[in-house]
Chain A
Amino acid sequence: MKFSQTGLYIESYSKCANCGVLIYEGDAEDARRMKRDDGKLYCSQECVDWKNDREKRKAAK
């Protein structure tokens, strides 16, 4: 989630493409865990893995 320079309003919302949690720009913990995969933003490697496993399960059906 990105705030304006003044901090008074939100410019954009960023969510993990898998679990949907907000990812705060400038938050050290969020920045440390966050991953990019296939052009999308994920809150953690765990969510990237979950998304990949889900796709594999779907393909196997």
Chain B
Amino acid sequence: MDIVTMNILESTMVSLCREMGIVLMKTSYSTIFNEALDFTCGLADMNGDMIAVADYCPAQIGGMPLLVKSCLKEIPIREIEEGDVILHNDPYRGGLHTPEHTFFKPIFVEGEIMGFAVAIGHIAEVGGMAPGGFCGEATEIFQEGLRVPPVKIKKRGQDNIEVWKLLLANVRTPRVNYGDLRALIAAVDLGEKQMTNIYRKYGKEKIRETVEDLLLYSERRMRAELEAIPDGIYPFTDYVESDGIDPDRKYAINVEVHKRGGDIIVDYAGSSPQAAGPINATLGVATSAAYNAVLHMTDPSIPRNSGCFRPIRVMAPPGTIVNVDFPAPEVGGNTETHPRIVGAILGAMSKALPDRTMAAEGATHCNFVFGGVEADTGEFFACYDLEAVGWGGRSFADGNDGVDSINGNCRITPVEVYETRFPWRIESLAFNTDAGGAGKFRGGVGYTKQMLCLNDQIICSQMTDRHLFAPWGLEGGKEGGLGATLVQKAGRDDWQTMREAYNKASTSRYSNVAIKYGDRVRLVTPGGGGYGDPSERSREAVAEDVREGYVSAGSARKFYGYEAN
């Protein structure tokens, strides 16, 4: 193994993936791309194994190998030509959820296909029963938007016009979707062009050998990390609070982590049967969540590629909340169930790895989606908006405050951009006092965003969680704060839940409520659980929390025995 060349090549490829992401960010139309960065760019070899990836959205990083491999099962290598771009979003054949669109473009060198440039991005509007793609009341996939099997959106460098027309005829915002789809193609174009240059510089054989070495190197390092963890079977169960259809039913995510030498097997047997509502995860999500959890517990300097995933296996019985069967709905599986699976795996491993796990995080993206007709232009607008949460306390530090959930790594859209792009006024955006679970290391806090509707009408839907089940603490740490969604109708003083105001089954999952001019919506995001006995928290840390407003004087007294001046 030529370690120097391997390191140079690995860094070059990762930089290229980051550059692909920057192109996507700068050329896209939607805030979900140019502000939230809800995408991932990578490179794959001709077998679909990921050889490099940029550090964008972890849910998509783990999902990428299965996505590309699934496509190659249906479009054989011999049918892929130079200049083709393949598009795919089908959740039942390797995909993550309907909005997640995967593009990949073959990299040809001297007539031979060497691999693929890949971009996965969350398209904000995909058709279906609700603007913005997250229909909290969907009961089948057909309500969740357009499902795209692996198809060539470009053939030999030319647009496949029929595919474009079909895609854009089925969404509410064709102009914006066109821009976002073009941005994804621009990303894979760049990846293909630059990777071809890299092949020309080093030669095909040298890169083939070096990439093989790189995957083996990642695998070896991952196995060494896993070997250091005590062997055993580690169980844990967590619950999703409802599916939006039956508000009184909870859904178990059951994990058994089997650690054997340098291998780890995550067995989800015993998880609840798939739900009627859209909280089901696909196999891609269940696999990606296991990878995500293991990456969080191991050395971050291990190169991220399919090599480091080789020691990880997933058992996700079909027809369950972690491996949905056609045609059940699935859109919330990737945003809500994914982080709950990661949390369950971290909870399972917390006894063996107390220094590398954490208490439960908020584990929701809030997924407040909306759309309507802009009064000034008459054009339809739609937005997928994600919000941040508090993370769990750790054995060595407080949880992060106001950070996107563990599978997103996304940014929240700045207030100024939000107000410019959409007819809302953000009246306040502030951290929630007492939302971080008490502990030796406090859970992170979520926040409250209050918005005033400035359009005649905005149609809103949501798919969130943690309105009923608070994030759990670890080692004596207390629960984190719950989330909430409240509405104040114009001319009224009281705040109501969506259930109260619009007769919805669930407060956290609903579709198509009409928010009118002058109505206000308040999104409260959950905090994280605390870690360790609160009585062991340093007095200085409690005093600072009270001074900064993270903890009230009453809670300081109740949980920490601290009397604030």
Using a CB–CB distance below 8 Å, which chain A residues touch chain B? 1, 10, 13, 15-22, 24, 27, 47, 50, 54
Contacts and interface: CB of A to CB of B under 8 A. Distances in A.
Nearest to A18: B315
B92 A19 contact: no
Contacts of A10: 92, 326
17 contacts: A10-B92, A10-B326, A13-B92, A15-B323, A15-B325, A16-B318, A18-B315, A19-B315, A19-B317, A20-B315, A20-B316, A20-B317, A22-B70, A22-B94, A47-B315, A50-B267, A54-B267
A18 B317 CA distance: 5
B264 to A, nearest CB: 14
Interface string B312-333: 0111111000010110000000
B553 interface: no
Contact of A19 (B73, B93, B316): B316
B286 interface: yes
Contacts of A22: 70, 93-94, 283
Contacts of A19: 313-317
Contact of A24 (B73, B92, B314, B315): B73
A10 B149 CA distance: 10
Contacts of B211: none
Contacts, number: 41
A13 B92 CA distance: 9
Contacts of A50: 265, 267, 315
B269 interface: yes
Contacts of B70: 22
A51 B325 CA distance: 20
A24 B74 CA distance: 9
Contact of B326 (A13, A16, A18, A54): A13
A27 B317 contact: no
Contacts of B267: 50, 54
B92 A20 contact: no
Contacts of B318: 15-17, 20
A20 B269 contact: no
Contacts of B93: 1, 22
Nearest to A57: B233
Contact of A27 (B73, B94, B283, B315): B73
A37 B269 CA distance: 17
A54 B70 CA distance: 28
Given A27-B73, A50-B315, A21 B269 contact: no
B73 A20 contact: no
A13 B325 contact: yes
Nearest to A3: B74
A49 B317 CA distance: 15
A19 to B, nearest CB: 5
Contacts of B94: 22
Contacts of A15: 283, 318, 323, 325
A54 to B, nearest CB: 6
Nearest to B326: A13
Interface core residue of A1, A10, A17, A20 (most chain B CB under 10 Å): A20
